[in-house]
Amino acid sequence: MRAIILAAGKGSRLEPVSGESVKCLVELGGMTLIERQFSYLRACGITQIAVVVGFQAERIRRTCGPNVEYVENPIFAETNSLYSLWLARHWFGDGFVVMNSDVFFHPQLLRDLLTAQHQDAVLVSWRDHTKYGDEEMKVKVRGGQLLDMSKTMDPNEADGENVGMVKFSATGARVLANELDKLVAEGAKKSWAPRAFLEFSKTRPLHAVSTRGFPWIEIDFPDDLRRAQEEILPLIPSSFDNSIFDQRKK
């Protein structure tokens, strides 16, 4: 199993409070977001990691170091995460997990996704009291499988929210690569990666894995960063060995 981290975009909406325009380099508890993701992946036994870079790529390279595969998105300002993932298709191999670099999450979420019995699965935070707006990547699930996923979905029809982590088996990786090829050929370079995941689900089941209430947040806006610092960080374990994981999964 390999990992791909999508980190090519510019986080301009976060600059007013953080002074940091590369979201994955925002620090929480003395570590950047992307360093935490690396730690969690390695604690799960994943050492082959690729990072798709674009905006301020050299800063990300300096932070992540040499033991990483870097994929350059030279037109990051004109494209979106679907195109970035397509650029990394040679890294899909015999299966991989892909995640957004701006997600701050409890490491158990990654372990749950990786150990789920389903070959191809998406991590979903089921709807609770949250009121969805235009920003959330909303999902609709039927029979435990993804039925729809988009930001434009009617919030009242959404069953939950996409966390930003998806795993694909060897077969699933090949199907996804084909769907990405089609979408890019059709001109969907400015689409979000979940558009490809939705097309994938029309060909091969993409199962929903629950967050089970473990904390997470996507950091887009100043208020997200505040919540991450004040509400989420105190709930995140400070060490990254196997002791961080929920014993109920064994």
Residues 40-55: pLDDT tens digits? 999 999 999 999 999 9
Cβ proximity of 8 and 56 under 8 Å: no
Q: pLDDT at position 250, please?
A: 40
Cβ proximity of 40 and 55 under 8 Å: no
Cβ proximity of 129 and 51 under 8 Å: no
Residues 58-111: pLDDT tens digits? 999 999 999 999 999 999 999 999 999 999 999 999 999 999 999 999 999 999
Q: Are strands 95-100 and 2-7 parallel, antiparallel or unpaired?
A: parallel
Burial 141-159 (b: 16+ CB within 10 A, else e): beeebbeebbeebeeeebb
pTM for the full predicted model = 0.93
CB neighbour class for 242 (10 Å; exposed up to 12, middle 13-18, buried from 19): exposed
Residues 213-243: pLDDT tens digits? 999 999 988 999 999 999 999 999 987 555 5
Say whether pLDDT at 17 is over 80: no
Q: What is the CATH number of domain 2-232?
A: 3.90.550.10
